[in-house]
Copies of this chain bind each other. A is one copy, B any other.
Amino acid sequence: MNANKILLDHGSGGRASHELVREIIYPYFENAILAQMDDSAVFSIADERFAFSTDSYVVDPIFFPEGSIGNLAVNGTVNDLAMCGAKPLFISVGFIIEEGFPLEDLQKILRHMQQAAQEADVKIVTGDTKVVYSKAADKIFINTSGIGRIPDRVNLSGENAVPGDRIILSGTVADHGITILTQREGLCMDFPLKSDTAPLNHMVQKIIESSRHVHSLRDPTRGGVATSLNEIAAQAGVGIMIDETAIPVRSETRAACELLGLDPLYIANEGKLIACVAAADTEAVLAAIRTSPYGQDAQIIGEVTAVHRGKVFMETAIGGARILDMLAGEQLPRIC
């Protein structure tokens, strides 16, 4: 890492984030569980396997169409657990609140958290509240951590993807990130944009039941689909080829991206997953995903290859192929 200060880039989810974690943070905490680099830590206690995950939410604005920092925080940790195949069970909540924050807003956020926990069927079992002076934090930050239990036969990891696997994307891309950005900047769009924040654990349950050959699941949050695909390619040491025309994008989201000059493949999603599945089971898994209210627009978007290992290629709409690299730095700060 070249910088001697922490930059917004280091929180991007892209290349600078990965460098910070790999070069600066990881060496202090080095252990086999942390080294997995999946969405959750996975470990065994007394012959049971558990997933454990944490995320802090600093999204700005804190309220947006389809939710708030509250349901975002619950859904995000639920999804990180689910991507390891775990059934999410228990969630902790840590609030950092700026002095003077309206109680009414806190109650709206709590209501969103309650609804999200109910939908995901998880319990919020422990918490902490800190209040800091005005201007020492911007409104409210929420950390959620979670514990889930992994069923016996389930073994999902980014490193399990193998050449020949088909890649399924559970729905349209970029809806969350572009909604936050336009809300924050006060951009008036002629068309309605809304976040896709949603709990994916019930969808994952259906996926696992539909096939014993699901190898990797990942939710493409910060850094978007392009970053998650690069993570899988690096972890598994495989190539990935995707088809641009197969990637679902809502027309409103595409229009907003075009206006703002942003690539939807790099923009955060909060209710989508990418699945790497053995070819023979692709249709079964796709059908399972589409039974979920959050999987109606699922598509097969590409496959895992034995060539171009560690890289992601995209066949473009105009016929060529180009490398889809990980984003170097920050495209959209405080998106989640």
Contacts and interface: CB of A to CB of B under 8 A. Distances in A.
Contacts of A104: 4
A277 to B, nearest CB: 25
A124 B52 CA distance: 11
A97 B3 CA distance: 15
A52 B132 contact: no
How many monomers of this protein are in the complex?
2
A56 B95 contact: yes
A125 B43 contact: yes
Contacts of A333: 131-133
Contacts of A100: 5-7
Interface residues of A, number: 81
B125 A21 contact: no
Residue of A93, A125, A147 with most chain B CB atoms under a 10 A cut-off: A125
Nearest to A47: B46
A34 B124 contact: yes
Interface in A69-103: 89-90, 92-103
A56 B6 contact: no
Given A41-B126, A125-B31, A133-B333, A92 B54 contact: yes
A54 B11 contact: no
A101 B56 contact: no
